[in-house]
Structure 1
Amino acid sequence: MKLDLLVLAVHPDDAELGCSGTIAKHIALGKKVGIIDFTRGELGTRGTAETRDLEAEDSAKILGVHARENLRFRDGFFKNDEEHQLEIVKMIRKYQPEIILTNALHDRHPDHGRAGDLAHDASFLSGLPKIITELNGVPQQEWRPRLQLQYIQDRYIKPDIIIDITPYIETKLASIKAFKTQFFNPELDGPATYISSPDFFESVIGRSREFGKSIGTTYAEGFTCRKLLGVNSLFDLI
């Protein structure tokens, strides 16, 4: 299946926190969107890899994504090396996305920045025909997305582009709440963590409001880009 938009996320719930409004918006626009999670989030203090698997499935249904896979890299210990790059190359060539969204290059969690660099390097390598890959015994053709953006998840980072998600904020919040073991949930007991407090959840909403305010809408998501972005017309800008 060819996708228009592919989200690469190191942990299940990263896509939801960083760009689920953008995912929902583009699906509503008729685009095909998928998510590739690198790890199962097995080092998370709350929940288990198995509960995260189920929560990721529930969130995928809420968002309506066309595909979601997990590469089962080691949470916390994966590397930006040839082995991991080639696994991502296989996914990029499998789905042939026009645009990739991935983790921030600098963030509180060290996995995020490493994953952002890993996704960037794999996206470039995927376009080189002399790198040979196979999927299920079938040779793959080279493919390089035309654009890669990094979603902003935790630390405040000045975005290069902001996308209005106002009509999709409830879908975003529902997709995050699907990860019941990870975020604030008064019905579940468990050790307190940075992301399980009600303040953290409010900060997610607050950031969406702040990005929205900066472009004259109610809610938005911000992204960074390693290259300059262009538009066909000034009248396309909000």
Structure 2
Amino acid sequence: MKLDLLVLAVHPDDAELGCSGTIIKHIAQGKKVGIIDFTQGELGTRGTIETRAAEAEASSKIMGLHARENIQIRDGFFKNDEQHQLEVVKMVRKYQPEIVLTNALYDRHPDHGRASELANDAIFLSGLRKVPTHLEGVEQQPWRPRLVLQYIQDTYIKPDIIVDISEQMEQKIEAIRAFKTQFDSPGEDEPQTYISTPGFLQSVIARAREMGKNIGAEYGEGFTSRKLLGVDNLFDLR
């Protein structure tokens, strides 16, 4: 299946926190959208591989995703090397997205920035015809998306572009809350973590409100770009 928009996320729930409003908005516009989770989040303090997978499935239904896969690389210890790059190349070539959204350029969680570099390098390699890959025994064709953006996660990064998600904010929070073991679950017999405190989810909402304010909207999601962005019509900007 060819997708219009593909999100690359190192942990299940990264896409929900960073760009689920944008995902939901584009699906409502008729775009085909999918997520590739790199790891199973197995190093997370709360929950298990099994619960995290079930939560990702529930969240995918809330967002209305057309595809979601997990390539099961090692949480916390993966490297930006040939082996891992080729795994990501296979997914980019499989879904042939026009636009890719990836993890933040840098963040308090070291996996995020490292995954962003891995995604960026793999996307470049995906466009080279002399980098052979096969999926299910079939040779893949080179593919490079026309635009790659990075969503903003926990560390404040000044965005290059902000998407208005005012109408999608409620559904975004629902998608995040699908990860019940990870966020704001007072009854769970598991240790409290940085992201499980009620204040963390409130900070996500506050960030979205701050982003929205910058473009005259109630809520927004910010993205960075490694290259200058262009537009055909100045009246498309606000």
1:81 counterpart = 2:68: no
**Could you tell me how far apart the structure 1 residues matched to 2:234 and 2:6 are?**
27
* Equivalences, count: 238
The C-alpha deviation readout for 1:34-75, integer Å capped at 9, x for no partner, is 000000000000001111000000000000000000000000
State the alpha-carbon separation in 1 of the partners of residues 148 and 180 from structure 2: 30
Aligned-pair RMSD on alpha carbons? 0.5
Question: SS of 2:79's equivalent?
Answer: coil
Q: Report the secondary structure of 2:53's partner residue.
A: helix
SS of corresponding position for 2:208: helix
- 2-side partners of 1:218 and 1:186: how far apart? 29
Distance 1:189 1:3 in 2: 39
Mapped pair 1:141 → 2:141: yes
SS in 2 for 1:156: coil
Task: State the partner residue of 1:32.
Answer: 32
Structure 2: 5+ residue stretches without partners:
none
TM-score (norm 1): 0.99
SS at match of 2:128: coil
Structure-1 residue corresponding to 2:102: 102
TM superposition shift of 1:228: 0.2
Answer yes or no: is 1:206 the counterpart of 2:190.
Answer: no
**In the alignment, what sits opposite 1:227?**
227
Q: TM-score, normalised by structure 2?
A: 0.99
| Partner SS state of residue 8, structure 2 | strand
* Counterpart amino acid of residue 147 in structure 1: L
**How far apart, in 1, do the equivalents of 2:97 and 2:77 lie?**
27
CA-to-aligned-CA distance 1:149-177 (integer Å, 9 cap, x gap): 00001011000000000000011000000
The amino acid of 2:181's aligned partner reads T
Deviation, 1:186, is: 2.0
Aligned-residue offset at 1:27 = 0.1
1:11 corresponds in structure 2 to: 11
CA distance in 2, matches of 1:154, 1:69: 24
Amino acid of the residue matched to residue 43 of structure 1?
A: L
Q: Percent identity?
A: 74
Amino acid at match of 2:34: G
CA distance in 2, matches of 1:189, 1:101: 34
SS in 2 for 1:6: strand
- Runs of 4 or more, structure 1, over 6 Å off, are none
Structure 2 counterpart of 1:208, one-letter code: A
Aligned partner letter, 2:27: I
Give 1:189 deviation, angstroms. Answer: 2.6
Give per-residue Cα distances to partners, 1:169-198, cap 9 Å, x unaligned.
011000000000001012323101000000
Secondary structure of 2:76's partner? coil
